[in-house]
Chain A
Amino acid sequence: MKILSRHKILVALFSILLMACEDPIDWDVNSDQIKLVVEGRVTNEFINQQVKLTQTADYFSSASPRMVEGAQVVVSDGESTYNYEELQPGIYTSVNAFAGVIGRSYSIDIQLSSPLGESTAFTASSTMLPPMTLDSLFNKKEATFDDTGEVSEDSLYLLGFYGQEVVGFENGYFFDVFVNDFKETDNVVNLGIFDDNFLEDDYLEDFLIYEVEEGNPGDSITMVLYSVEREYVTFLDALVAEIEGAEPLGFSGPPANVVGNFSNGGLGYFYTAAVDTSYTVLID
Chain B
Amino acid sequence: MKKTLYIIGLLYCMLLSQTVAGQDETRLLALANIEQQKVSVNELLLHLKGLEGIQLSYSEENIPNREIEIPASNMTVQDLLTLLAEKGGLTIHRVGKNIILKPIKEEKYTVSGFVFDEANGEAMIGATIQIKGTQNGVISNVYGFYSLTLDQGTYVLIVSSVGFEPQEITVDLSKDQTIDVRIKSEAQQLEEVVITAKEVDANVTSNQMGYAQLSSKSIKNVPALMGEVDVIRAIRLLPGVQMTSETSSGFSVRGGSPDQNLILLDEAVVYNPSHLFGFFSTFNNDAVKNVEFYKGNMPVRYGGRLSSLLDIRMKEGNNQRFTLNGGISPISARLTLETPIVKDKGSIIISGRRTYADLLARSTSNKESVDNTTLFFYDLNMKANYTIDENNRIFLSSYAGRDVLSFESPGGDFTTDFRWGNLTTTARWNHVFNKRLFSNTSLIFSDYNYTLGFGAQDFRFDWDSNLRDYTAKIDFDYFLNTKNTISVGASSTLHRFDPGKVKVSGSGENGETRISRSNALEHAIYLGNEHRISNKLQLAYGGRLGIFQNIGEGVHYTFDSEFERTDSTFYKKGEIYNTYTQFEPRMSATYQLSQTSSIKASYARTTQFLHLASNSISGTPLDIWFPSSPNVKPQLADQISGGYFRNFFNNKLEVSVETYYKWLNRQIDFKDHAELLLNEELEGELRVGKAKAYGLELMVKKPEGKLNGWVSFTWSKSERQIDAINNGKAYRSSYDRPINISAVGNYTFNKRVSLSANWVYFDGLPFTTPSGRMYYGNSIVPTYTERNGDRVPSYHRLDLGLTIEQKKNEGRRWKGSWVFSVYNAYGRKNANFISFRTKEGTNETEAIRYTIFRWVPSIAYNFKF
Interface residues in chain A, defined as those with a beta carbon under 8 Å from any beta carbon in chain B: 1, 4, 6, 9-10, 13-14, 16-27, 29-32, 34-35, 37, 39, 54, 56-65, 143, 145, 147-150, 160, 186-189, 191, 198, 202, 204-208, 234, 236-239, 241-243, 245-259, 267-269
Q: Is B245 touching A249 in the complex (CB atoms < 8 A)?
A: yes
Question: Which of B6-14, B517-525, B528-536, B781-789 contacts its partner?
Answer: B781-789
**Does A206 contact B508, Cβ atoms closer than 8 Å?**
yes
Check: B773 CB closer than 8 A to any chain A CB.
yes
B816 to chain A minimum Cβ distance, whole angstroms, is: 31
B400 at the interface (CB under 8 A from A): no
B389 close to A (CB within 8 Å): no
Cβ–Cβ < 8 Å partners of B247 in chain A: 18, 249
Given A207-B509, A249-B277, A252-B615, A188–B783 Cβ distance below 8 Å? no
Interface string of B440-475 (1 = CB under 8 A from A): 000000000000101000010100000000000000
Contact check, B833 vs A246: say whether CB atoms are below 8 A apart.
yes
Which residues of the other chain, B, contact A208 by a CB distance below 8 angstroms?
459, 508
Asked whether A207 lies within 8 Å of B508 as measured between CB atoms, the reply is yes
Find out whether the CB atom of A56 lies under 8 angstroms from the CB atom of B783: yes
Residues of A within 8 A of B369 (CB): 147-149
CA distance A58 to B413 in the complex (A): 47
* Known A27-B769, A54-B774, A59-B782: A253·B509 in contact at CB below 8 Å: no
The distance from the CB of A229 to the nearest CB of chain B, in whole angstroms, is 13
* A160 adjacent to B508 (CB under 8 Å): yes
Closest Cβ–Cβ distance, residue A265 to chain B (whole Å): 11
* Chain A: minimal CB distance from B477 (Å): 43
A269 CB contacts on chain B under 8 angstroms: 776
Interchain nearest-CB distance for B239 vs A (Å):
26
CB-defined contacts of A13 to chain B, threshold 8 Å: 405, 416, 418
Apart from the given pairs A21-B852, A188-B781, A249-B245, 17 other A-B contacts in the complex at a CB distance below 8 Å: A16-B407, A17-B375, A20-B832, A22-B849, A30-B785, A59-B782, A59-B783, A143-B413, A145-B409, A204-B509, A245-B782, A246-B836, A248-B850, A252-B616, A258-B781, A267-B774, A267-B783
CB of B811 within 8 A of chain A? no
Are the C-beta atoms of B771 and A31 separated by less than 8 Å?
yes
Instruction: Kindly state the separation between the CA atoms of A254 and B670 in the bound complex, as whole angstroms.
Output: 9
Distance of A171 from chain B, by nearest CB (Å)? 16
Interface residues of B, CB < 8 Å — how many?
A: 88
Contact B775 A37 (CB under 8 A): yes
Within 8 A of A (CB), among B792-843: 829, 831-837, 842-843
> Does chain A have a CB within 8 A of B190?
no
| B25, CB-defined interface residue at 8 Å | no
Do the beta carbons of A237 and B770 come within 8 Å of each other?
A: no
B848 at the interface (CB under 8 A from A): yes
Assess whether A63 is in contact with B848, with CB atoms less than 8 Å apart: no
In the complex, the answer to whether B851 meets A187 with C-beta atoms within 8 Å is no
Q: Which of B341-391 contact A (CB under 8 A)?
A: 367-369, 372-373, 375
Q: Which residue of A lies closest to B843 (CB)?
A: A62
Bound together, the chains give a CA A60 to CA B789 distance in angstroms of 17
Nearest CB of B to A54, in Å: 6
> A61 vs B838: C-alpha distance in the bound complex, in angstroms?
11
Out of B367, B452, B767, which one reaches A148, CB within 8 Å? B367
* Residues of A with C-beta under 8 A to B837: 245
Contact A259 B672 (CB under 8 A): yes
In the bound complex, CA of A149 to CA of B411 (Å): 9
- Knowing A148-B367, A149-B409, A257-B784 are in contact, say whether A32-B772 is a contact too (CB < 8 A): yes
Of the residues B276, B616, B670, B851, contact of A21 by C-beta under 8 Å: B851
Q: CA separation between A20 and B507, bound complex, in Å?
A: 39
Partner of B771, one of A6, A27, A32: A32
> B781–A17 contact, CB under 8 A?
no
Report how far A186 CA is from B678 CA in the complex, Å.
30
Contacts of B777 in A (CB 8 A): 39, 187-188, 191, 236, 239
Chain B residue at minimum C-beta to C-beta distance from A260: B776
Cβ contact within 8 Å between B616 and A253: yes
Which residues of chain B have C-beta atoms less than 8 A from A250's C-beta?
Answer: 615-618, 833
CB–CB B783/A32 < 8 A: yes
Interface contact B778-A187, CB-CB below 8 Å: yes
Least CB distance from B823 to A in Å reads 13
For A255, the closest partner residue in chain B by CB is B768
Whether B790 contacts A58 by the Cβ 8 Å rule is: no
Pair A257/B849 contact, Cβ less than 8 Å = no
Q: How far is the CB of B437 from chain A (nearest CB, A)?
A: 50
> CA of A43 to CA of B296 in the docked complex: distance in angstroms?
58
CB distance from A234 to the nearest CB of B (A): 8
Q: List 27 A-B residue pairs with CB atoms under 8 Å apart, sorted by A's residue number.
A: A10-B620, A13-B416, A16-B373, A16-B407, A22-B849, A23-B829, A24-B849, A30-B785, A37-B774, A57-B772, A57-B774, A148-B367, A187-B779, A189-B779, A204-B509, A207-B508, A208-B508, A245-B782, A246-B833, A248-B850, A252-B615, A253-B615, A253-B616, A254-B672, A254-B767, A258-B673, A267-B774
Q: Are A24 and B617 neighbours in the complex by a CB distance under 8 Å?
A: no
Which 9 pairs of residues, A with B, have the shortest CB-CB distance? A206-B508, A253-B615, A256-B672, A27-B847, A32-B771, A149-B368, A188-B777, A250-B616, A238-B673
In the complex, what residue of chain B is closest to A250 when comparing beta carbons?
A: B616
* Partner among A25, A60, A258 whose Cβ is within 8 Å of the Cβ of B849: A25
Residue B622 CB within 8 A of the other chain: yes
Interchain CB contact under 8 A, A257 and B672: yes
In the complex, what's the smallest C-beta–C-beta distance from B111 to chain A, in angstroms?
Answer: 55
Residue of A nearest to B357 (CB): A17
| With A256-B787, A268-B774 as contacts: A21 and B854 at CB distance below 8 Å | yes
**Chain B residues with CB under 8 A of A259:** 672
Q: How far is the CA of A258 from the CA of B780 in the complex (A)?
A: 12
Chain B residue at smallest Cβ distance from A200: B513
Closest to B847 in A: A27
User: Is there a chain A Cβ closer than 8 Å to B845's Cβ?
Assistant: yes
Say whether B773 contacts A254, CB under 8 Å: no
B 754-772 binary contact with A (CB < 8 Å = 1; else 0):
0000000000000111111
Chain B residues near A27: list those with CB within 8 A.
769, 834, 836, 847
B593-627, CB < 8 A from A: 615-618, 620, 622
Q: How many angstroms from the CA of A149 to the CA of B407 in the assembled complex? A: 12
Q: Is the C-beta of B846 less than 8 angstroms from some C-beta in chain A? A: yes
Q: Is there an interface contact between A30 and B789, defined as CB atoms closer than 8 Å? A: yes
**Nearest CB of chain A from residue B366's CB, rounded to whole Å:** 10
The complex places the Cα of A247 from the Cα of B620 at a distance, in Å, of 13
> Given the complex of chains A and B, what is the CA–CA distance between A65 and B524 in angstroms?
60
B490 beta carbon closer than 8 Å to chain A: no
A54 to B779, CA, bound (A): 13
List, in ascending order, chain A residues with CB within 8 A of B410's CB: 145, 149-150
The answer to the question of B674 belonging to the interface, with a C-beta cut-off of 8 Å to chain A, is: yes
Give Cα A247 to B777, complex, Å. 22
For B734, list chain A residues within 8 Å (CB). Answer: 254
> Which residues on B sit within 8 Å (CB–CB) of A60?
844-845
Q: Does B39 contact A (CB under 8 A)?
A: no
